[in-house]
């Protein structure tokens, strides 16, 4: 855990902080630069990346972190400054606190969005950043594009004292998780829960309840987790998205996702409630 400073973050679009020492969330091919201090991983601090021998290809102002400017940057040519290392974003979950992970996720997604929206999708003209909001605008046809977020639901279904877990074809043989799927155009989140459970495992659900959410920057998802109760149907994996799905007792679970993900938080929370009688 990064314990060297608390994380009070205020997001902003534009900066008047040029020249001040700043925290830099620097990326190269999906990996982020971190300063290594013993067992801690820190966000590098400097006024300009040139001080670290780095030349950014693109920069996004993020806001202020504990009163200090914070920037996202991408470099094309890798270089590892002394005392630093490149880490995959997933590896920072559990090493940074929750707020700092969120800022790193924001930085990664903004860099990806900026790189992939340099040209207008309608007329092909180069886009330019707007000063008043996080957007890029086409000067030709005036189309504005905003950072993309792909919402996806996750649902853990209970049937009495059992939970329904599923395994995707690409997962290891004993690795199961809650059901998940992307929200389609025109759907509410509840409608997505109903459709995904019906399509993937052939069951109906009721009493859908919100559990929590998590930014999942691989590359730009927002996971929204729910619980639901079994309402009918026979469990039949679709064979495409889901290869195997079974009911499990909360005290006899298979391998489940790591603790960095909301899937694990959801499973742990519901199973704890089932084991101690707080959930029927």
Cα separation, 96 vs 91, whole angstroms: 9
pLDDT tens digits, one per residue of 198-213:
999 999 999 999 999 9
Domains of the chain (ranges, CATH numbers)? 9-116 (3.90.79.10), 121-147 (no CATH), 150-275 (3.90.79.10)
Looking only at the bridges linking them, the beta strands covering 22-28 and 56-65 are unpaired
pLDDT-derived band at 5 (thresholds 50, 70, 90) equals very low
What is the pLDDT, as a whole number, of residue 280? 66
Cα separation, 46 vs 171, whole angstroms: 42
Neighbouring-strand partners of residue 157: 164, 228
Classified as helix, coil or strand, 146 is: coil
200 is written with which tokens?
């993937």
Higher-pLDDT residue of 14 and 194 is 194
What is the pLDDT, as a whole number, of residue 1? 38
What is the pLDDT, as a whole number, of residue 6? 55
Determine contact, residues 245/259, Cβ cutoff 8 Å: no
Determine contact, residues 224/154, Cβ cutoff 8 Å: yes
pLDDT tens digits, one per residue of 84-140:
999 999 999 888 988 899 999 999 999 999 999 999 999 999 999 999 999 999 999
């Amino acid at each position: 855990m990064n314990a060297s400073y608390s994380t009070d973050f205020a997001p902003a679009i534009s900066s008047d902080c040029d020249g001040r020492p700043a925290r830099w969330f620097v990326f190269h091919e999906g990996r982020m630069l971190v300063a290594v201090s013993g067992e801690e991983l820190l966000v590098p601090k400097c006024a300009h990346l040139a001080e670290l021998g780095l030349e950014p290809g693109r920069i996004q102002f993020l806001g202020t972190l504990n009163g200090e400017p914070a920037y996202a940057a991408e470099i094309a040519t890798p270089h590892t400054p002394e005392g630093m290392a490149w880490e995959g974003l997933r590896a920072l979950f559990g090493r940074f606190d929750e707020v700092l992970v969120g800022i790193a996720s924001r930085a990664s997604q903004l860099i990806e969005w900026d790189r992939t929206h340099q040209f207008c999708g309608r007329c092909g003209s180069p886009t330019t950043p707007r000063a008043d909001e996080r957007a890029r605008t086409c000067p030709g046809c005036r189309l504005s594009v905003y950072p993309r977020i792909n919402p996806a639901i996750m649902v853990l279904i209970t049937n009495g004292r059992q939970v329904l877990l599923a395994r995707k074809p690409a997962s290891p043989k004993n690795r199961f998780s809650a059901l998940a799927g992307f929200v389609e155009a025109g759907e509410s989140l509840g409608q997505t829960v109903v459709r995904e459970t019906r399509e993937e495992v052939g069951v109906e659900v009721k009493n859908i309840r919100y559990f929590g959410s998590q930014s999942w920057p691989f590359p730009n998802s927002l996971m929204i987790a729910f619980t639901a109760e079994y309402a009918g149907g026979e469990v039949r994996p679709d064979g495409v998205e889901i290869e195997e799905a079974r009911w499990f007792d909360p005290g006899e679970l298979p391998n489940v996702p790591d603790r960095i993900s909301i899937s694990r938080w959801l499973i742990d929370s519901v199973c704890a409630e089932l084991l101690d009688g707080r959930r029927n």
